[in-house]
Amino acid sequence: MATDYTPGELMVAAAAREIYDGEVVFVGMRLPLLAFCVAKELHAPAAYGLFESGVIRDRAAPVMPYTMCDPPNIAGAAACTPMATVMSLLQRGDVDLGFIGGAETDRYGNLNTSYIGNPEHPTVKLPGSGGAADIACLARRLVVIMPHERRRFRERVDYVTSPGFGEGAGWRERTGVVGGGPSALITTLGVFEFDSSTRKAVLRSIHPHTTVAHLREETGGILEIPDQGPVTAEPTTDELSIIRRYDPTGFWTGAQ
C-alpha cells in the first residue's frame, strides 16, 4: 500500500472498488471519471461506462476527460448517442451503479443540490439536478461522493433533489421509487453504508488520515460514529499509478 496520497486519491480508489466487472455504470463527473478508469484497468475490464452526454464507453478514455463531453471521452467510444438513449437505459433498469454528488445529505442518504435555506427564498441557489434525480431513482444502486463538512450533514436536507431512502425503511417501496437506493457514501473522511433494516447511514470505514473525534465533529451528531471501526484500505501502488497518469497535476484529486 502507498503511504503518500491525497484524500482525493483515496476517495477515487474507494469509489473504483465499488465498480464490479461486467456492470453498467452511470459515471458522472469529477472523481468518478477517474474511478471508472482505475476499475477498468485493474479489476472490472468488462464494465461499461455511461455518460449523461450520450457517450457509452467499453474502455477507459485514453487521457483524462475534464468533462464528459471532452474529445478524449469521444475518441474510441463504443457509441455517441442522444442523451435520451442513455437515460432510457436507466428507465429500463439496465444501470447497475450510478455515481452522484451532493451539497447536503442526511442520515437516509437524501441529497440536495438545489437550494440552501427556504426553497422559496434560498440563501444559496445551487446548480440543481441535471440527471442526478434520475440516477438516484432508477439505478440498481447508488454511490454518493462528496466532501465531509459539518454544514453538509443535516438532520433533514433543505430540499430533496435526489432521493436516498426518503424517511427511512420502506419509503422507496411505498412511493414507487424503483431503484435500489444508496449503497455507499464516500467522503473525505470515511466510507458509509446504509443499514438494511433502518436505511440509516452507518460507518463502514474511517480514512487513515482522520480521527474518530474529527469525524464526529464534522458529522454534527447526525450519524452514530463508533469509538473503533475498520480503517479504509489505502490506495495501492497500482491504483495510484493510474490515478496520477490520468490526473498528473492533481486537478481533481490534489485539493480534496
Count of residues making up the chain: 256
DSSP per residue, 19-61: --TT-EEE--SSHHHHHHHHHHHHT-TT-EEE-TTSEEESS--
Q: Which residues are marked as active site?
A: 52
- Diameter over CA atoms, the chain: 49
Closest CA to 190 of 178, 173, 202: 202
Q: Where are the alpha helices (DSSP H) in 75-206?
A: 83-92, 132-138, 171-175
CB atoms < 10 A from the CB of 66, how many? Answer: 15
171, exposed or middle or buried, with CB in 10 Å at 0-12, 13-18, 19+? middle
| Cell numbers for 83 | 442523451
According to DSSP, residue 201 is labeled E
The strand pairing partners of 162, in sequence order, are 111
Residue type, 129: S
According to DSSP, residue 247 is labeled -
